[in-house]
Structure 1
Amino acid sequence: MRLDQVVYSVDGWLSAERFLGAGTRTYSKYADITDISSAFHPQHGNTSFRVPSFRVPAALGRLRTNGIASELPGYYHDGERLLLPVHPDALACADLVGREELLECEPGPDFEVIPLANARTVFVVAIDGVDIRPHQLKLHYPRRISRFTRRLREPMIELELWVADELAALGTPFLAEVCGGIFGSGGDAWGFIVREAPPLAAGRYTVPLFALYGGDIRAPQDPTLLEQLVEVGSETAETFIAERIVAPMIRLWVRAAVSAGCLLEPHGQNTLVSFTADARDIEVRYRDCGVYIDPVIRRRLGLNRPLPPMNVIGSDLRAPAAGIRSLTYDSFMGHHALDYLAELARKRFGADPDVLHEAARIVYASAVEGFPEPLLPDTVYYYDDAAPPERWRLKDTGIRPHWR
């Protein structure tokens, strides 16, 4: 994708989400697994597709919100009934929990959506043929994408709304989850989450981080976005990556961790880069509040808000806090994203990865200054591939971290 040929910022964002991921999913043996029908596949499917919905009575469904003001919840509840969109592949699953009861509900309008990189998260552009305020919609998807089956149960919905409140209170640059719908009751209740769209102002582009270093599957001869931004800017590739990308990512992760005990997962899909065409104004943002919570940090800070029902270290998570922190920082951010940026810069510009690593160490040391104990372990933790994907566990890889 060539930036000088993108007329509308929304087109640039959607093209980046869908087509600029070539070569970016080699970080694990599970990374490129997407069990989805071809019509709904982000890279190979239709330009858009329709998601059916159901009008669910109060006895079966409810809408959850948080403290973030938004008009979006109004699309999903009419005051009496929940409007529940369901991914076509999920609806086709014979073992979808509550499927018989769902099909007895009154059909609602179709949602016109465009698939995003995650496949089960879509971009909503119209409901019942009427244009609405565009936004992202994360759907229950009881099929496998990458390492896990992507069910979206009630505890996860509550977690994401809770974390969104925490990040908003910190002033974090992120796309906020503002509501979630829940169908059914008990441990298998499932639903959806509504998330704000990225800034799509004229003259400004927003793309997932992987789109900076990923190839275009439609035009593999095109230079990557990183190459195009370095070319039009006034900085070297090393300076651009270190100061415009790596430093704000590190500061964002550390601030959320040490100020709220929220361990963000800033890999290539969850990290967003917003920039002007001349590369002078660049911002790093975050999306997806389905993160881990460190209650020890929160207690130290005197934060006594009741914790969410899942992803709490020491509660439903038995892995050590240091290992979970390393998973999110060293593996998700470092190995899954920044290593790709560094390698592309080495190949295309002759940049020295060690220079980028040293710059990251300086930023990290400054960001954690004053924290009373080591925030991260001496070595990198990652998933143990010997464990079944749905029953994950961590292992100490013994590898020294590069990005701190």
Structure 2
Amino acid sequence: MHRPTAEDDVAADLAAVRPALLPRFTAELPGARSAVLTRLWRAFAYEPLPWIRRREAARDGLTLWLADGRRLHGPPSDPYATGDRVTAVELDGVPYTRPELLTAALGVPHATGLAAELGHSTASLALSRAGQEPPGDAWPEPDREWEWEQRVVDGHPYHPNCRSRPGFSVAEQLAYGPEHRPVVRLGLLPVPASECLVSGAWPGELRDGERLLLPVHPWQAAHVLKRGGEPVLAAHPLMALRTLALPGGGPQVKTALSTRLTSSVRDMSVGSVRAAAALSAFAEEMAARTGGLLRVTRTLGAVTAGSPDLAALLRESPRVHAGPGERVVPVAALPGTGLPASPAWLAAFTRLALGVGLRLLELGVALEAHGQNLLVVLSPEGEPLRLVYRDLADIRVGPARLARHGIPLPRLPERILTDDVTALRRKLFGSLVAGALAATAGSGPALAQALAAAVPELPDSPDLAALREEPVPAKALTSMRLTPGHAGDLWTVLPRPSEV
């Protein structure tokens, strides 16, 4: 008897809410399965999973010997490559084309939950791809640069849960997912100012006498708060889903959205709201030490009504850091621009990004510079000029490094402070090298070529030496999903790109 799968559920819902899209959804399923299976096979090839005893590479691919004597066999895995490359993985000679079925067949601890997530990720990815239309103008108007965010269809380039959105119906994915290009109408929920913690300045247009008007995402209003304000604030969802751009180049709104996206449930804690203004001012001061090569989107105001479920943050648009004729593009969206246009362009961008990241790391700040947080300002000719960084919640700050440079440490959340050299390097290299730069390059050989051109031109330092000589750290994304209850990130190391 056939048991309904996530693909079946999405198809049934789609037939009810958008039947015209159903044939395209069906056609996109094989590619979506391959995309998620590719990411899963990368995890099996490189993450420290306790049920994998050894790995053997050969001309015909990679064989993994499991603790129970079974074998997994698949194609060679380039940990830096993107795209749909793995169409099947064999478990004891039986081929699997669907990642959730392979995971269920493995039967390792917590595989059932991960299998369900992978099925949902595959179905949601097919839905995301099915809804695409040929892009309009290659370069959106400056006040519509949020369109770049909506062209990032596949989500995280290396996470098997790249499109997993548990708790979202098909209708809600179509209504709120940035890749579907909706306009989302945020509610404005009035809350007495006396019940709110405010960091920075909350604007007058979001006040009503003695009450603050908190922008509330409609999904949050319906599923968590069970209430919401009048839906009056039209906005365009960005890659982060819960962050939206107001029309006309106005500020961007980060809303509370208490659902799991890829690895974790993101919220806006009271502590993060309390520290928002101080953290923004500190980051702006540190960015000024890069000689104008890095700008930070300032936090304008943050507010919480005593709960991570009811909070919001306003920050300036990255557009304010671009001059006439310049464009600001999230690094994750660069392939949609036709960039990198050449190995020389990729080398120039790598030199810029690594130079900025290493300079801040030397001073004591490790950015989480993945393709969503990191943006690049392009000249009218498309050359990389400088960087813009947004979303400061997950940076790391080393007090000892700051002190060596005579930089005072402001009051910042304890969770972001560490003098652990490994933790600081993991934060930057894991996000920038194994994330933003790798996904932009698209393969290990291309990334190796860019690094070979860029690194010799950077100032020498112990951090740069570690990047040259040691394996590249990366988050063990699948291991984290197979280790419920573990607090914090799990890590692995990838071979240096030149060794792939």
Partner in structure 2 of residue 116 of structure 1: 238
Using the alignment, how far apart are the partners of 1:270 and 1:310 within structure 2?
A: 22
Partner in structure 2 of residue 246 of structure 1: 350
Q: Does 1:311 align with 2:415?
A: yes
Q: Offset of 1:281 from its aligned partner?
A: 6.5
In the TM superposition, what are the counterparts of 1:278-293 in structure 2 within 5 Å?
Answer: 278-280=381-383, 282-290=385-393, 291-293=395-397
Which of 110, 135, 146 matches 1:14? 146
> Residues 140 and 389 (structure 1 numbering): CA distance in 2 closer, same or farther, change over 3 Å?
farther
Q: Offset of 1:41 from its aligned partner?
A: 0.9
Q: Which amino acid aligns with 1:268?
A: G
Partner in structure 1 of residue 317 of structure 2: 197
Using the alignment, how far apart are the partners of 1:373 and 1:275 within structure 2?
A: 29
Q: Offset of 1:265 from its aligned partner?
A: 1.1
Q: Does 1:30 align with 2:161?
A: yes
Using the alignment, how far apart are the partners of 1:273 and 1:55 within structure 2?
A: 37
Using the alignment, how far apart are the partners of 1:367 and 1:2 within structure 2?
A: 42
Which of 19, 28, 43 matches 2:179? 43
SS for the counterpart of 2:258 is strand
Using the alignment, how far apart are the partners of 2:375 and 2:324 within structure 1?
A: 17
Which of 348, 354, 359 matches 2:448? 354
Q: Which amino acid aligns with 1:164?
A: S
Partner in structure 1 of residue 278 of structure 2: 162
In the TM superposition, what are the counterparts of 1:3-402 in structure 2 within 5 Å?
Answer: 5-6=138-139, 8-11=141-144, 13-19=145-151, 21-23=152-154, 25-35=156-166, 36=168, 37-38=172-173, 39-44=175-180, 46=182, 48-65=183-200, 73-77=203-207, 80-94=210-224, 96=225, 107=229, 110-125=232-247, 134-170=250-286, 171=288, 172-184=294-306, 190-199=310-319, 203-214=325-336, 224-226=337-339, 230=341, 237-243=342-348, 245-259=349-363, 261-280=364-383, 282-290=385-393, 291-314=395-418, 321-343=420-442, 352-364=446-458, 366=459, 368=461, 378-384=470-476, 385-387=478-480, 388=483, 391-395=486-490, 397-402=492-497
The number of residues matched between the two structures is: 348
Select the structure with the greater relative contact order (CA < 8 A; seq sep ≥ 6).
1
**Does the CA-based 8 Å contact 2:257-2:309 persist in structure 1?**
no
**Does the CA-based 8 Å contact 2:345-2:383 persist in structure 1?**
no
Q: CA RMSD in A?
A: 3.4
SS for the counterpart of 1:279 is coil
SS for the counterpart of 1:391 is coil
Q: Offset of 1:140 from its aligned partner?
A: 0.9
> Residues 250 and 190 (structure 1 numbering): CA distance in 2 closer, same or farther, change over 3 Å?
farther
Q: Which amino acid aligns with 1:247?
A: R
**Does the CA-based 8 Å contact 2:181-2:236 persist in structure 1?**
no
> Residues 133 and 43 (structure 1 numbering): CA distance in 2 closer, same or farther, change over 3 Å?
closer
> Residues 283 and 59 (structure 1 numbering): CA distance in 2 closer, same or farther, change over 3 Å?
same
Q: Which amino acid aligns with 1:285?
A: V
Alignment deviations for residues 243-286 of structure 1 (CA, whole Å, 9 cap, x no partner)? 1x112211222233232x32211111111122233225733221
> Residues 147 and 281 (structure 1 numbering): CA distance in 2 closer, same or farther, change over 3 Å?
closer
Identity %: 22
SS for the counterpart of 2:220 is helix
Using the alignment, how far apart are the partners of 1:340 and 1:7 within structure 2?
A: 23
Using the alignment, how far apart are the partners of 1:165 and 1:114 within structure 2?
A: 27
Q: Which amino acid aligns with 1:356?
A: A
Using the alignment, how far apart are the partners of 1:305 and 1:189 within structure 2?
A: 30
**Does the CA-based 8 Å contact 1:51-1:112 persist in structure 2?**
yes
Using the alignment, how far apart are the partners of 2:465 and 2:451 within structure 1?
A: 22
Q: Whose helix fraction is larger, Structure 1's or Structure 2's?
A: 2
**Does the CA-based 8 Å contact 1:149-1:390 persist in structure 2?**
no
SS for the counterpart of 1:137 is strand
Q: Offset of 1:380 from its aligned partner?
A: 3.2
Q: Offset of 1:164 from its aligned partner?
A: 1.6
> Residues 189 and 92 (structure 1 numbering): CA distance in 2 closer, same or farther, change over 3 Å?
closer
Q: Offset of 1:151 from its aligned partner?
A: 0.9
Using the alignment, how far apart are the partners of 1:334 and 1:83 within structure 2?
A: 40
Q: Offset of 1:226 from its aligned partner?
A: 0.6
Q: Offset of 1:109 from its aligned partner?
A: 6.8
Q: Which amino acid aligns with 2:211?
A: R
Q: Which has the larger radius of gyration?
A: 2
**Does the CA-based 8 Å contact 1:155-1:310 persist in structure 2?**
no
Q: Offset of 1:43 from its aligned partner?
A: 1.1
> Residues 256 and 79 (structure 1 numbering): CA distance in 2 closer, same or farther, change over 3 Å?
farther
**Does the CA-based 8 Å contact 1:18-1:43 persist in structure 2?**
yes
